[in-house]
Structure 1
């Protein structure tokens, strides 16, 4: 359906929409492209992510991350960030009621582009993101949590200068310890995501993302916990030569918790996810 809609738009758009190629570094919402920027670039980025609706009660979680992105060498990008979180949790099964604002933690993201789609059949980038948190990103409990996310990102222009497609494959292990009790646990999430973006105007792009995740207990994928499929639109606007804005929203269209016959997994995942990203070159 997405491909058919983009093809229909392509038939009626003016030629100006095809003017220039893609920079896929920031056009996707929850996904990433293979572009990493030009050597010497520096950017400030504000990323706001919301998670809404669990299995009963009221659940709202917001994460505000502020990041500095640097490209010290060709094909290599470094991102350093810190984040704050806000929670409004009431009568959610298995969760303590909480209403709080906290400093979440710190993160570092490293990306290296192995293939440039301008000279190769497709672009390919390996991303390694590490984070340390003092507040659990789901329950808002005080924790000592350390996680790593490995992503292999591929992209290719399926209609030159008009439509670009991206594929992400991810593995995210996480270690968590509860300071109050000393209890520790490990879990891991694997995922695959596919996205399409079309250039409606030289400074406006519109598309969508489909993401599938499986969560396990243990970093070695020891015991299956649940799975979920998210679908939603993404919009990208180049505000000026130096600033940009990306907005995306996803809904859990299907899911299943281990040992349950329900059509959604609202224990391991949320019903709705949204993200707003603002970036500024300096």
Structure 2
């Protein structure tokens, strides 16, 4: 009886949930209100691969705006820092440099306020001059297609999200003039609870598969990432999201290893700060 009373009290204090920036490595289906503008910084770290020492940190700066109902556009640019020593197949590097530009367009097909669940399609395209994994100089074009679903399991308290992901990449390495095509596909789920107004805690799980070729020609490896997420509404106009994800299981193609540290990192972390203006 005490548990249900506490549950009801938390729900009564909770505020309406906006899932646009609620998750760390997933996205929600909300896109904001018409005319809304936001500035956002997103810091993503990737740590630990086979062999020696590996650290990669990308810093993105993004402007978001909502020009019409159910449409959101985001323009971004990124710097990337690498510290790589003794990783098989990678050159040793320690550098910080400009990486590239991105464009993210989202369209919401279903609003969960009027439908059984929310449904949004996100298409993000980017052009990079530095490879995010190896730090090599490249000419790259990539796209991420993401289909997002979410639903409030307990109104204004508990929400679940599901993402399906397809990420094709076209890359030419300038030093060797080798051209490559690759793709990552996967699914991700997240669950967040509003423990007090503007404060959410929860977790995410992502299953990813990496392929040679954008048509999923040859399977190269797979990994399962899990980890906690926290969201804090700092003020009426500002917010902060923090997420950490660890590879709990994985396997490169043709190997019996318990982790895939060839195609994926052991740890990933993300910190996002945003502000309306």
Same fold per TM (> 0.5)? Answer: yes
In 2 relative to 1, CA 9–46 (structure 1 residues): closer, same or farther, beyond 3 Å? farther
In 2 relative to 1, CA 159–94 (structure 1 residues): closer, same or farther, beyond 3 Å? same
1:61 to 56, 60, 65: 56
Aligned to 1:72: 67
Unaligned runs of 5+ in 1: 1-7
| Pair 1:261-2:256 in alignment | yes
1:35 is displaced (CA, Å) by 0.3
Distance 2:4 2:224 in 1: 28
Which whole-Å deviations, capped at 9, do the CAs of 1:234-273 have from their partners, x for residues lacking one? 0000000000000000000000000100010001000000
Answer yes or no: is the 8 Å Cα contact 1:45–1:279 preserved in 2: yes
TM-score computed with the length of structure 1 as normaliser: 0.95
| Pair 1:84-2:79 in alignment | yes
Aligned to 2:119: 124
- Runs of at least 4 residues of structure 1 off by over 4 A? 8-11
What CA RMSD, in Å, does the superposition of the two structures yield over aligned residues? 1.3
| Pair 1:250-2:245 in alignment | yes
Which whole-Å deviations, capped at 9, do the CAs of 1:28-50 have from their partners, x for residues lacking one? 00100000000000000000000
Distance 2:202 2:10 in 1: 19
Aligned to 2:180: 185
1:183 is displaced (CA, Å) by 1.2
| Pair 1:166-2:182 in alignment | no
Distance 2:40 2:247 in 1: 27
Aligned to 1:15: 9
1:121 is displaced (CA, Å) by 0.4
Please give the secondary structure, in 2, of the residue aligned with 1:20.
Answer: coil
Distance 1:148 1:30 in 2: 16
In 2 relative to 1, CA 91–163 (structure 1 residues): closer, same or farther, beyond 3 Å? same
Distance 2:16 2:241 in 1: 18
2:94 to 88, 91, 99: 99
Unaligned runs of 5+ in 2: none
